[in-house]
Every structure is written in structure tokens, then in C-alpha cells.
Chains A and B, each alone.
Chain A
Amino acid sequence: MSARRPLPRWADVALLPAINLALAFLVSGLVVLLVGENPFHAIQVIIYGAFGYGDGFGYTLYYTTNFVFTGLAVAVAAHAGLFNIGGDGQAYVAGLGAVVVALALDQTHWLIAMPAAVIAAAAVGGFWAFIPGWLQAKRGSHVVITTIMFNFIAAALMVYMVNRVLKPASTMAPESATIDVAGRVPQLRQFFSFFGYSPVNLSIVIAVLALIGVYILIWHTKFGYAMRVLGANPTASRYAGISNSRMIMITMTISGALAGMVAINEVMGVQNRLVLDFVAGAGFVGIAVALMGRNHPIGIALAALLFGALYQGGQELQFVIPGITREMIVVIQALVILFTGAMEGLFRPSLERAFMLLTPEQKAEAIAVSTAKSES
């Protein structure tokens, strides 16, 4: 009989991720040790590189912005019981919307170009996720399969669009024309010299607004309620008169629109043009971010910051300690994703048991509940 009580909330949202993270760093430390470097020095470099000075912190925030968007995209879909692993493709295709609007409006002012591009990127990203949503709602094709296939379609489509449509005849590189200064999203260094040469830009404001917006959407709107009912129990949502097919399509569209915001950060804030593969895997990091952040905006903000710091600190690491190669950084990042994402529940059972030993009342409650259930 495994009468178990769920963990107290603080342990679930703070202690468990902390343990996972500690373990990830422990194993990473062993890897660093194996290649003959000092793990304590390495972690010091990572932390300093990510938070220690303006440039580094700016880069951390720039990566964080991307991960907030893709993390929210995964989380919104997850609340409706959908697993959107196509954030990468949705963000990539959304670049089309962003770049077309930005190029058209770059003679005006960023206050005009940016909102218009946000809407265009959201529309295109949303559309790219709507198709898998429609396929699931009307045809029963599972979004996990279709969204991942749409990542490949997006990659092929973008190569074609960049090379055959967007590339000016005068350039050799596979990229669109450059957006004029007036049409670019301003970088924070223009206002605060603290950020040095880092690319963090006003897209981070959109990220904060998105975090707040998603919180309100999920827990304070009727739509969010319906979404959560669908995610928790699709039969109950049908009983409640909620149109499951409609919910799936709308939720996927919102999810894709959120992923599409990556294009604003990258295309209008950093690269100033559409380049191939500008998403650079942010869509997949979003899955780990959402998992680690428990699909809650606060958790996602923190998890995105962690991954942002790992990306930036990792870059720093390979400059400072030449013994640690680029591949090594990928290994460390992968370990964090592995322990906090894929093996997120590894310690849950033992932690639950530990908590029950600590507090007999909780154990009594757990047993009472499980007995009541088995007897009903």
C-alpha cells in the first residue's frame, strides 16, 4: 500500500527543484573534474560571467527573454493538456511576420514598428501552432507528432523564404535586408550604460507583460478555467459544456503566439535582420523551463533566468578556462535539463516519504484518504 501525501507546496516548488539542481551541478562538477579542471573555479566563472558585470548580466537577460517566451508557450499548452514541442518552429516562422513588418515600417519610429511587428509575429507564430491544433481538434492527429513535424517544415520553409524571397540581390549571405535603426527595438544599453555591449533590449518588457498576462489568463479568466478543466479531465470539460475542439485550437494559437515573441527579441532587437536558425534551440529549452517552473509564470521566470545564466556563464567559461570546450558546456547544460526537466520527479517519492516520517499527522491524513478511497 503506498499511501502518500503530496508534498507541501513550498517543498514542491522550491525544495525539489533545488535538490535536482544541486545534483545536476554535482554531476557537472564531476565531469569538470574528469577533464582535469577545478569545478569550484568553473562555477565561480559561470556565476561571475552571468551576473558579475553589466555586459554579462545583459547577455543573461537577453537569453532569459527568449526562454520566458518559449517556456510560457509550453506552459499555456500544458495547462490545457497539450504538449507543444513545436515552439522552435513557431518562433522561427514568426520571424517572417516580424521582419516583413519591421522592414516595411523602419522609416517611421520603433514605437510604431514594434507593436505592429509584435502583432504580426504573434499572428504568424500563432498560425503555425493553430494548424497542429486544428489537426488534433478535427482530425485527431496528436499535437506532439504534428508540432515536431512542423519544426522541420518551418526549417525548410525558412531556408526557402530567406534565400529566394527575403535576401536582397546585393548580398551573398543567406539573410534578409537589414532593418533601419528607426525600426529596431531599442537596446537597454541606450538607456543604461551599465549593460555595456550586451544585446538585451525592450523585448524583455514584453516578456514581463507576457508573464503577468499568462498568470491572469490561466487563473483569473473563464477561458483559463475552461482550459484547465480540459487539461485536467477532458470528459468533465465536455460535461461542463466546454467545446474541447475550440479550446484546443485557441490554446495552441496562444501558445504559438507566445513562442513567436522570440522573433521580436532576435530579429528586431539583436540581429536586425532575419538570419537562418536564429531561434537556436530556444524552443526546446522552453520545455525544460516550463517543466522546472511547474507551468507557473513565477517559476518560469526563475527557470528562464537560470537557463539564461547557464547559457551566458557557459560562454564565459570556455573563454576563461580553455580546458573546458564548447562541447563541455553543452554537456553541463544538458545535465541541468536532464535533472530538472526529464528526471524532475526522481526524488519526489523519497522526499514524500521523508516528509511523512517527519510529521505523523500528515501520514495519518494520507492513510485516511487512501483508506477512504479504497472503501468507497
Chain B
Amino acid sequence: MNPQRPETAAASAPANGWAIELEKINKRFGAVHANKDIDLKVQRGTIHGIVGENGAGKSTLMSILYGFYTADSGTIRVNGTQHAITDSRHALALGIGMVHQHFMLVDNFSVLENIVLGAEDSGFIKPSLDRARKELDRLEAEYDLEVDPDAIIEDISVGQQQRVEILKALYRGAETLILDEPTGVLTPKEADDLFRVLRTLREQGKTVILITHKLREIMAITDSVSVMRQGEMVATLETAATSPEEIAELMVGRRVLLQVDKGPANPGKTLLEVQNLVVADDMGVTRVKDVSFSVRAGEIIGIAGVSGNGQSELLESISGMRDQQAGNVLLNGQPLSLEGDDGAARARAAGLAHVPEDRQRMGLVTTFSEWENAILGYQDSPEYGAGALLDIGAAKQAAANHIKLFDVRPANIGLKTSLFSGGNQQKIVLAREMERDPDVLVIGQPTRGVDIGAIEFIHKEIIKMRDEGKAILLVSVELDEIRSLADRILVMFDGVIVGEADPATATEGELGLMMAGINNKTAPRGLGIAEQGPLP
């Protein structure tokens, strides 16, 4: 194992002291040793990152600190004094607050009511609210955290809801804030706002512990970072003195390719063509406005954009899950008829495979076993049984094959898919869609919630399909992913393709401007821009 870096292992107390000191924390759940002799010291007034793959023990460790679990052995010191934290109320009293990945807010209460909830002074709510309003004004001003106290939670954005969670913790006197995967639900803009808030908190002397698996965030915001792997703390590093490559290697335990290794594209004939597509969402609001583009064999088209600018509706419409108001989708030159609620079946029959954005809601039936999910969408195809009967043997055979080819773990076709990790769930979906050898692959957020080792594998598979001469349409909110995978980038803003860029030459700044809808270099809808050469 990697030894601890000397700069922290033998560190004497810094000038501003340790906010949190964990020593030799052990936690076992039966045979699973979730935390092994964990040492962690967090300096007061800093932002400290904790990274690790799924199941590395990050959440267990933070749950011990926040009083959800009690450690089997080890000591916890808060501000230098030893405590046995018994529950989260106790943790709060010690000034430790937690912002969960899934918010704990009452949707139809106002911001103010949510903040007071559970911290009322008396049986009457009015004095508490009045006092809270004053306190909230002060907190908002002090930490530059603007939220309308009277707004109803369900009416405000996810980013704002997160602020409410942070305010809730501050209102209860938190000095140390634990944030569990805070950017998972945020747009890039909202994430930037969050980081600004975190920096302000640091300036005001608060301590922040950030749990994440996004290396970019670690590099961007933290002062120091602790890496966990399989229940052990493998290193604590100064962020300024390390690199994403080093952290990734520590996390996975082997060298990881962060940059995708791919040759030049060799585009052939047009396989997927979208003409003047107009799509509305469930509320009847037009989300895709007259979009046209085409994808040729052997190339990857990446659609970049801030989440919520019509990409989801575009994907769902092309794959037959959502009715289109106008326009055409052509596959191999043949128009696809996608009307009715079984349009997805016709799209598949024509050779279009779809890896959906949200695998748990669409791509999998999580209560079904792995083998039952291996035929989802292809259940009517003749190789899974002639006539009305389902050939369970053939389905299990296919599932075993998928597991072998895509290295799904655990290799158990009888296990419910809800029990697989995010990366393995995604592999199950990818295996199903790729193994059918489709002409066109439409793929949304291929690596959302997937750990680094699996990301590398998934990217390789996508490139492999491209090199086999398939047309691939990729939608992702991760700009890095689009830039490294796509051969051409289309930027979508407010339902319109506002520009096209060459990933080799376009800078992040240019793409960022286009994603914000500002583009004066290219014509709207982005058709034929590539022929005019890359962006200057």
C-alpha cells in the first residue's frame, strides 16, 4: 500500500488547529471491514476533499462522524476534545452539519419553514419564524447565500435547494460542514456557484469536508485531499502538490487513462439523420425547436449543453420514447415511424439502440434479476422464444454472455439489478444495447455516477463501436467527456443547436459561451459548419 505522505503523516498541529481528528477508526459489518484503521485530520478553516470509488468506505466514515454509526474502535476529537458521538443531534451540538446527497426538505414548505423545522424554540411557530428570519438575513449576508425565505421549496431550483440545506446546517450552528457528492445534481453553473459559496465559508473560518468522486472538483476547490480505497485511507495529500493522475491511481490502485485513446474518425455514409425535429415535454412546453443534424457511420457526434436545454427530449424522441410534434428521423435513409407508445420497438427493429440517460428509471427494471434485464427491449425478438412463450434459457445465455464480455461484477445473472453498483448497472445496459450490433447507438450520460475504472472501460467500448463503423450520438453534461470522445460537437441551448465545434481545436471557453447561448461566430442550427473549418 502507499505510505502516507510525510507532510501530513507526522504533521504537528497547524496554527489554526484541527477541526476534526479521527484516529484508528475501525468499523466492521460482519465480514465486511468497511473502515480499517482510518486516520483523518482536517485543519480548521480549510476545504478537505475525500475521494474514493464506490464502496471505498467514504460514506461509512462520514456516517461515523455524523453519528449514524458508532465505530467499533478508534477515537474522534472535535476541536481537540475527545467525544463519543452517539447520534446526529449530538454531532450537530458539536458543530458538525451534513448536507446529504438527496435533500431532506419538505417540498411544499417555504424555505424559512424548512430551516426552522426541528429547531423551533417553543410550541408556537410564529416567534421561531420571526427569529429565524432575522438570523437567516444575517447568514445570507455573511456567506453570500441568497435565497428568498418565503419561496416554496418545490418552486426553486436544485441549486437553491442545496443552499437551503447549507443554511439549515449553519442555522443550527455548524462549524464543520460535510457535503456528500454535492454536485451530482447540479448544472455546471450551479456547481460554480456552490464552489463560490464554499470558498466564502472557508474565508469565514468554517471547515468543509467534501465527499466526491470527481477529480476536477477536488483539484478546483480543496486545500487537501484524502484518498480511500477498499476501506483504507491510502493517502492524504496537499491538493496543490498533486495531480489528477496521481489521485486516480491511488483511488483505483493501478494506472488509469484519464484521456481517451482514440485514432482519427473515418466517417462513411450518413446513418442517422434528424430533420427539423420539434419535441415538447410532458407539460406541453416545446423543448426541442426545429433541430436538424446527421450522424455518419464511424463517427461520434457529441451534443454538449447545460442539462435541461432539450437534450433529454431529443434523445427520447429519436429513440421512440416521446412523441414528436414535427420533423423526421431517418435511419439509413428510411424514415422511422415513431408514433404511438411503442415507437421504441420500431426504432430498435430498424437498428437503433438506446442507452438512456437514467438507467435506473428507464434502462433497467431494478427489481428484476440481471438476466431479465438482459432482454429488456428485445423481449419480442425470435431468439428469446418463438411465438408467445419466452425462452428463459436463451435469455440467461445472453445474460451470461453480456456479463462475460463486459466484465460485470458480481457475475451473477440471478441477482437483482438494484444490487449492482452504478458502474456495473451501466455495463449491463451497454452490453445489452451494444451486443445487438445496431447501426446507430444513441447514448445519454454514459458515465453518470460511474466510478473511474468503469469509465475507462465504457469509453473504450464506445470508441470500439465507432471504429466498427457505427454511428454514435452522444449526449453528456460532462464537457470533458464530450471533448474527449466526440469527433464533432454540437452545442444545444434552449432547444436549438447553437453551434458546432471541432473538439481538437475548440477551447472550453468557446464551448462554455455557446452553452450559455452566446455565439456570434456560427450560424444558428450549426449545419455545415464543419465544412467551413474549425473554429478560430
Contacts and interface: CB of A to CB of B under 8 A. Distances in A.
B377 A221 contact: no
Contact of B389 (A221, A240, A363, A367): A221
B376 A240 contact: yes
Interface stretch (B26-34, B138-146, B270-278, B462-470): B26-34
Interface in B342-361: 342-348, 354, 356, 361
Contacts, number: 133
A310 to B, nearest CB: 32
Contact of A371 (B60, B342, B344, B388): B60
Given A220-B390, A222-B380, A229-B376, A241 B344 contact: yes
Interface string A218-254: 0011111110110011011011111111100000000
B363 A243 contact: no
Interface in B47-63: 54-60, 63
Interface stretch (B289-297, B365-373, B514-522): B365-373
Contacts of A371: 34, 55, 57, 59-60
Interface residues of B, number: 60
A374 B231 CA distance: 15
A367 B32 contact: yes
A243 B340 CA distance: 8
B452 interface: no
Contacts of A369: 419
Contacts of B379: 222, 225-226, 229, 240, 242
Contacts of A235: 361-362
B385 A222 contact: yes
A221 B361 CA distance: 24
Interface string A1-29: 10000000000000000000000000000
B343 A241 contact: yes
A363 B29 contact: yes
Contacts of B28: 364
A130 B433 CA distance: 35
Contacts of B364: 233, 236
Contacts of B372: 225
A236 B356 CA distance: 10
Contacts of B406: none
Contact of A360 (B30, B363, B389): B30
Contact of A246 (B181, B342, B356): B342
A242 B345 contact: yes
Interface in A260-302: none
A244 B29 contact: no
Contacts of A239: 319, 321, 344, 354, 356, 362-363, 376-377
Contact of A233 (B31, B60, B365, B421): B365
Given A220-B390, A221-B389, A229-B365, A364 B31 contact: yes
A205 interface: no
A315 B368 CA distance: 43
A361 interface: yes
Interface in A170-225: 220-225
B376 A236 contact: yes
Interface in A332-376: 360-365, 367-369, 371-372, 374-376
A70 to B, nearest CB: 25
Contacts of B34: 367-368, 371
Contacts of A222: 379-380, 384-385, 388-390
A194 B511 CA distance: 85
B82 interface: no
A364 B363 CA distance: 28
Contact of B361 (A233, A240, A244, A364): A233
Name the residue in B419, B422, B451 with the highest tally of chain A Cβ atoms < 10 Å from its Cβ.
Answer: B419
Nearest to B100: A374
Nearest to A238: B321
A203 B449 CA distance: 55
A364 B344 CA distance: 40
A56 to B, nearest CB: 41
Given A241-B342, A360-B31, A368-B32, A221 B348 contact: no
- Give the interface SS of chain B, mostly helix, strand, loop or mixed: loop
A376 B390 contact: no
B31 A361 contact: yes
B320 A372 contact: no
B195 interface: no
Contact of B342 (A1, A232, A243, A365): A243
Nearest to B33: A364
Given A364-B31, A371-B55, A371-B59, A376 B365 contact: no
A265 B365 CA distance: 39
A360 B29 CA distance: 7
Nearest to A242: B342
Contacts of B8: none
Contact of B421 (A246, A367, A376): A376
B55 A375 contact: yes
A364 B29 contact: yes
A364 B30 contact: yes
A224 B63 CA distance: 42
B319 to A, nearest CB: 8
Contact of B368 (A232, A241, A361): A232
B411 interface: no
A240 B34 CA distance: 38
B389 A233 contact: no
B54 A372 contact: yes
Contacts of B242: none
Contacts of A238: 321, 341, 344, 362
B243 interface: no
Nearest to B320: A241
Given A1-B68, A222-B379, A240 B30 contact: no
Contact of B390 (A1, A224, A243): A224
Contacts of A233: 361, 364-367
Given A361-B30, A367-B32, A375-B59, A240 B340 contact: no
A241 B348 contact: yes
A289 B60 CA distance: 42
Interface in B189-220: 213
B54 A376 contact: yes
Nearest to B364: A236
A173 to B, nearest CB: 46
A222 B55 CA distance: 36
Contacts of B385: 222
Name the residue in A221, A228, A242, A363 with the highest tally of chain B Cβ atoms < 10 Å from its Cβ.
Answer: A242
A358 to B, nearest CB: 12
Contacts of B319: 239
B69 interface: yes
A375 to B, nearest CB: 5
B101 interface: yes
B392 interface: yes
Contact of A245 (B181, B341, B343, B423): B341
Name the residue in B341, B348, B449 with the highest tally of chain A Cβ atoms < 10 Å from its Cβ.
Answer: B341
A95 to B, nearest CB: 30
Given A238-B321, A367-B34, 10 more contacts: A1-B68, A220-B389, A233-B365, A239-B356, A240-B379, A241-B346, A242-B342, A364-B32, A371-B57, A372-B54
14 contacts: A1-B63, A236-B364, A241-B347, A242-B379, A243-B345, A360-B30, A361-B30, A363-B30, A364-B30, A367-B29, A371-B60, A372-B55, A374-B180, A376-B449
Interface of A: 1, 220-226, 228-229, 232-233, 235-236, 238-246, 360-365, 367-369, 371-372, 374-376
In the A-B complex, the 5 residue pairs with the closest CB atoms: A241-B345, A364-B30, A360-B30, A376-B422, A241-B344
